[in-house]
Structure 1
Amino acid sequence: MAYISVVDYHLVRKVKSNKFNVDHLSQYNLYFLLGKQHFKFCIIDTKSNYCLLLEDYLIGSNDQPDEIVDTLKVLFESHHLLNAGFWGSIKLAFLNPKSVLVPNLLFDKESLSDYLKLNCEIHSDEVCYYYKHNTGKMVNVFAANKKIVAWFKELYPNLNIHLLHYRSALIEGISRQSDTSQLKSMSLFLNIDSTEVLVHERDKLLYCNQFDHQNPSEFLNYIMVTIDQLELDPNFSKVHVWGNINNKSEYFKILYKFIRNISFGKRPSVLNFGFEFDEIEEHLYFDLMGLYYCE
C-alpha cells in the first residue's frame, strides 16, 4: 500500500513576552513536548529564567511517525524561529505511555528494553532511552520513535538534544512543589484521555502511574482506588491538579464531590513570567515548563 502523507496542524495558543530578543537566541533554551495529538514548545532565557515564548499546536490524531514528521516539517518550515541552530540548549520530551521507573540499585543500561517489555510493547522502529532522576533514586526508562528522533537531530546537527519523557518533568517539578507539611499528598496531571497520578509523602515519591479513561466515572474510580490503597484521607489529604482540566469540567466536578481538599497546581516557581502570560491558567503546561528541572 502506498504511503499518503496527511499534514494537519493548527495553532491553539501563542504567548510571547515583550522581553524576547531574536539577537539573544544563544542564551535561550528551547523545550519541545511531542505527543500523539499535541506539539508544544517554549523558550526560556537562561539569564533571567523568564519564559519568553510558548506555542501549542494540535497536530491531528495520527500515530504514524511518517505523518508526524511530515507535519512537523511543514510547521517548522513556516516558522521564523524553529529552524535557527544556535540555541543555548534543546530538550525534547515525548508524551507517550512507554515509560517505566527503575530503582537505581536495579538499573542496568544494557537492559533498557527488558524493563520496558514488562510494561508495554516495544516496536522495531523505536529506541529505548533513560533519564536518571535527581530526586527519588530512580531512572525513567522510555521509548521513542527512531525516525522522529533522527529528524530532530538532523535539524539541529550542532546541538546535543536532551531526550526525555514528559513523566520526568512531572516528577522533578512536582517534587519541588510538594507540601512538606502533609504526610501524603496526591498530584494529578490530566491529558486528553489519560491521567498521570503521583503520590508524595513530604518530598518522597511513593507512587507514579498513568491510566487511560474514557469518561469521568472511570477517572474517579481509579483515583478513589488509589486513595484507598495508599491510605490517603479524601477529606483531608491534599490533591493538586494540573493539565487538561478546569473548575467547570465534569472531571473536576466529580472529583470535588468526593475529595474536598482539592486545588489547582501552580507553575514552576523557579520560572518568571511577564504579564502576557496572565491569560494562561497556572495549572496548564506544567509538563512542558517542568522540563527546566531535568538536567
Structure 2
Amino acid sequence: MGKLSVDIIEDTYLSKSAAAGNNLSILIGMDRLTYLVSTADHQVLVLHEYELESRAAISAKQGQNAYWEDFVKKICREVPHFHQPYARIRIGWTTSFSAIVPGRLYQAAHKATYLQYLSAQEGKWEYGADQLPHFNAFHVYGVPGEALSWSRTQFPGSEALHAGTAYLAGARALLSGQPGTRCLFVHVGFRELRLSVMDGNQLYFTNVYTFQTAKDFLYYLLAVVDECDLDQETTPVLLSGRLIEDSEIYRLLYRYFRKLSFVSRPSALVPGPKLSAIPQHLYTDLYFLALHAV
C-alpha cells in the first residue's frame, strides 16, 4: 500500500486517541499521502507519511489518474486511523492543476474553463473551488478521476480544499502586523515548487512549477524575482517543505539571497517531543491545513 516513511506517534496518543473532539487532516499528493491527528486544542498526536515505493509505478500515460485509485484508496482502506470518529476531517489536494481567479470574474459553472489552458493528464477530472476571502479571489482546481466524489464517500462530512488555499492563508497570517512587507514564500514538494509573493497581507503573485534539477529550481525562482521586481538583498525569503540546508538547492539560494529563513511551526500547534525533534518547516503545508479556518 506504499512505504511508511514518517512514523510519529506521541506518547499522549494512548490517552487521547479516542477523544470525539480530535481532528484528522490529510494531504494527498502525486506521490505521497500525509496525515495528522490532533486534539481540539491542536496538540499533535500522530503524523504519518506514506509514499509510493516506486515512482515508476506512475507512468506518463497513467499519470495522476493512477495514483489515487491504487495508492490512496488502499491506504485509506487499511490504515486504522482512517476508521475512527473525528470531530472534523479535512482533505487537502496538492494537484498542480489549479489557478487563481479574481472574484469579480468567477462563475461556479465555469471551473473547467478557467483551467483549459493548463497542461494536465488525459482522462476524467473533477473540479473544485475554494474562496479566498482575504484576496477577493477563488482557487479553482482539478482532481483526477472521481477523487472528490470518492473522498466524500470515504470520509462523510469531510471538508475538501486545495492545499495551496490553506498555504496562502497561513502565509498571510505569518505576516499579520507587518503591513507593507513584501516577502517571497518558497515551498518545496517532490519536484514541485510553489512560489508566492505576499505584499503585506495581500497576495501579489503565486504559481506552481515542476522542476528536475537545482538549476531548474533557480531558473524559476529568479524569473519570479525579476517579474515581481524583488530586491535579492532585502527581500525576506521564507522557505518550507522538502528542503534542508545541506542541499544543492539551499546552497544556491544562499548565494543569491541575503535574507533566507525557514518557516517556523505555527505557534498554535502543540508538538510532542517526537515531532519537536524534526525540522519545523518540513510539514508547513500540513500544519497550515490543520489550522485553516474554513
Is the TM value for this pair above 0.5?
yes
Identity of aligned residues (%): 19
Aligned residue type for 2:18: D
Deviation, structure 1 residue 192: 1.6
Q: Structure 1 residue runs of 4+, over 6 Å off?
A: none
SS at match of 1:90: strand
Q: Judging changes above 3 Å, is the alpha-carbon distance between structure 1 residues 133 and 65 closer, same or farther for their aligned structure 2 residues?
A: same
Q: Residues 276-291 of structure 1 correspond to what in structure 2 (within 5 A)?
A: 276-291=274-289
**2:79: which partner in 1?**
79
Q: Residues 214 and 110 (structure 1 numbering): CA distance in 2 closer, same or farther, change over 3 Å?
A: same
Is 1:184–1:202's contact at 8 Å kept on the other side of the alignment?
Answer: yes
1:244 aligns with 242
Which residue identity does 2:17 align to in structure 1? V
1:167 paired residue among 152, 164, 167: 164
Distance (Å, rounded) in 2 between the aligned partners of 1:160 and 1:128: 18
TM-score w.r.t. structure 2 length? 0.89
**For residues 261-280 of structure 1, what are the alpha-carbon distances to aligned partners after superposition, in whole Å with 9 as ceiling and x for unaligned?**
10111122322212221122
Write the deviation string for residues 24-54 of structure 1: whole angstroms up to 9, x where unpaired: 0x211111111111110111212x1212211
For residues 148 and 166 of structure 1, the distance between their equivalents in structure 2, rounded to whole angstroms, comes to 15
Look up the match of 1:107: 106
The Cα of 1:123 is off from its aligned counterpart by 5.0
The residue identity in structure 2 corresponding to 1:280 is: I
Query: After alignment, is 14-23 or 147-156 more displaced?
Result: 147-156
Write the letter of the residue equivalent to 1:153.
R
- For 1:260, the equivalent position in structure 2 comes to 258
Structure 1: 5+ residue stretches without partners: 1-7
Distance 1:278 1:111, change over 3 A: same
Partner residue of 2:11?
18
Deviation at 1:191, TM superposition (A): 1.1
Distance 1:32 1:104, change over 3 A: same
Contact preservation (8 Å) 1:193, 1:213? yes
Secondary structure of the residue aligned to 2:133 is coil
Alignment-derived partner of residue 5 in structure 1: none
Contact kept in structure 1, 2:128 and 2:142, CA below 8 Å: yes
- How many residue pairs align between the two structures? 283
Query: Which of the numbers 18, 35, 38 marks the counterpart of 1:44?
Result: 38
Letter in structure 1 aligned against 2:8: V
1:81 is paired with a residue whose SS is helix
Q: Work out the CA distance in 2 between the residues paired with 1:154 and 1:260.
A: 48
Give secondary structure in 2 for the equivalent of 1:52: strand
Q: CA deviation at 1:227?
A: 1.2
Indicate the residue corresponding to 2:65 in structure 1. Answer: 65
Residue 126 of structure 1: how far off its partner (Å): 0.9
TM-score normalized by structure 1?
Answer: 0.89
**Post-superposition offset of 1:57:** 0.8
Question: CA distance change for structure 1 residues 50 and 247 in 2, over 3 Å: closer, same or farther?
Answer: same
Structure 1 distance, partners of 2:92, 2:209, is 19
Aligned partners of 2:131 and 2:137 also within 8 Å: yes
**Distance 1:77-1:111 versus aligned 2 partners, 3 A rule:** closer
Structure 2 residue runs of 5 or longer lacking an equivalent are: none
- State the shift of 1:16 in Å: 1.7
